């Protein structure tokens, strides 16, 4: 098999050509004179059609015996087809098994049958094969790229600050201690101190996207001990509105570019991204207090308060983003 391997979407465009594809055997159905296999790769899948008298006879037996999710390479000719739900089908001349899956599978990849969370975590490599799980990783990668680009385009320099520190930047309560050759070090809970040093150094505009660590022993779904944090700092502003305006610009630019790239990649999560009107609503603290029915209380807002305020903003302004 010396011809180059094609991804399913490229292969589908090569009507009449001999191509090689590779991926997971998602499905195999034999219906008398014809059999169909679906081979899935990272961008989609290909329908492989075996016709009796056309496909090499041994391929029927090979596929009938092969567990779903095995890894295969298929070589054959692509033909456009109105009937195939992917617009084309591949008539194989050779199939090679690169890796045979164990049976039974602990969970199905494209089955409608759900698996419980423990099973999914125990077999995460299989769970990650689900196109809808992969879509989340693609969304995350697109967000990383888009936020980086949006900041760069506005003169922000990307920096990577140390994660292993002698001391914490924001007090010691939420730090993880590390045994550093018998001495005590800590994991960074924020790039704050370094960003401020970079301002004093005249870098003026910096950003970082990277891991930070918070030793908050919490059972809520809003706390993780390791998170990916986006952090930016900007000097020479005339007031807080300069920061709000910049953040608004960055979020709008980044989400717009994510929507474009996910749409192009046919990622279904593109449709769930919010449309952002500008400017984001500015909600005075007093207004939010009034909404919550306790004007002048001057209390910090808790999780439930924030949810209530967010819902009210969404209802009145139709946007999930606002300044409080």
The residue ranges that bind a copy of itself (CB under 8 A) are: 5, 7, 22-24, 40-42, 124-129, 134, 137-138, 140-141, 144-145, 148, 152, 155, 157-160, 162-164, 176-181, 187, 197-198, 200-205, 210-211, 213, 215, 217, 225-226, 228, 236
Q: How far is the CB of 144 from a copy of itself (least distance, A)?
A: 6
Output DSSP code: residue 133.
H
Q: How far is the CB of 55 from a copy of itself (least distance, A)?
A: 23
Of residues 68 and 289, the one with the C-beta less far from a copy of itself: 68
Of residues 62 and 133, the one with the C-beta less far from a copy of itself: 133
Q: How far is the CB of 53 from a copy of itself (least distance, A)?
A: 31
Of residues 117 and 201, the one with the C-beta less far from a copy of itself: 201
Cα dihedral 251, 150, 213, 197 sign: negative
Q: How far is the CB of 62 from a copy of itself (least distance, A)?
A: 19
Q: How far is the CB of 42 from a copy of itself (least distance, A)?
A: 4
Let me know: does 174 contact 186? Beta carbons within 8 Å: no
Q: What whole-number distance in Å separates Cα of residue 293 and Cα of residue 289?
A: 6
Task: For Cα atoms 264, 270, 275, give the angle at the middle one, nearest 5 degrees.
Answer: 120
Nearest-10 Cα torsion for 185, 190, 196, 199: 120
Q: Which strands sit side by side in the sheet containing 205-213, from one edge to the other?
A: 157-158, 205-213, 226-234
Of residues 7 and 283, the one with the C-beta less far from a copy of itself: 7
Output DSSP code: residue 5.
B
Q: What whole-number distance in Å separates Cα of residue 97 and Cα of residue 100?
A: 7
Of residues 69 and 289, the one with the C-beta less far from a copy of itself: 69
């Amino acid at each position: 098999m010396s011809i180059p391997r094609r991804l399913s979407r490229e292969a589908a465009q090569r009507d009449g050509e001999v191509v090689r594809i590779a991926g997971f055997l998602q499905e195999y159905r034999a219906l008398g004179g014809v059999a169909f296999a679906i081979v899935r790769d990272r961008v989609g899948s290909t329908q492989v059609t075996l016709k009796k008298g056309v496909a090499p006879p041994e391929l029927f037996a090979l596929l009938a015996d092969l567990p779903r999710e095995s890894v295969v390479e298929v070589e054959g000719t692509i033909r456009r087809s109105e009937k195939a739900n992917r617009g084309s089908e591949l008539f194989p001349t050779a199939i090679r098994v690169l890796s045979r899956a164990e049976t039974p599978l602990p969970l199905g990849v494209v089955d409608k049958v759900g698996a419980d969370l423990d099973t999914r975590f125990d077999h995460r490599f299989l769970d990650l094969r689900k196109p809808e799980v992969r879509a989340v990783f693609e969304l995350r990668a697109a967000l990383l790229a888009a936020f980086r680009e949006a900041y760069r385009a506005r003169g922000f320099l990307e920096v990577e600050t140390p994660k292993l520190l002698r001391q914490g930047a924001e007090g010691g309560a939420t730090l993880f201690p590390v045994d550093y050759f018998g001495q005590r070090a800590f994991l960074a809970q924020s790039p704050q101190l370094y960003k401020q040093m970079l301002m004093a150094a005249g870098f003026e505009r910096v950003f970082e996207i990277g891991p930070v660590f918070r030793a908050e022993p919490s059972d809520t779904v809003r706390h993780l001990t390791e998170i990916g944090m986006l952090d930016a700092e900007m000097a020479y502003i005339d007031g807080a509105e300069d920061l709000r305006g910049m953040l608004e610009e960055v979020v709008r630019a980044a989400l717009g570019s994510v929507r474009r790239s996910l749409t192009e990649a046919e990622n279904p999560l593109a449709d769930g991204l919010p449309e952002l009107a500008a400017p984001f609503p500015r909600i005075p603290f007093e207004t939010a207090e009034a909404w919550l029915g306790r004007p002048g209380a001057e209390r910090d807002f808790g999780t439930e308060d924030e949810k209530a305020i967010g819902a009210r903003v969404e209802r009145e302004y139709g946007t999930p983003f606002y300044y409080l």
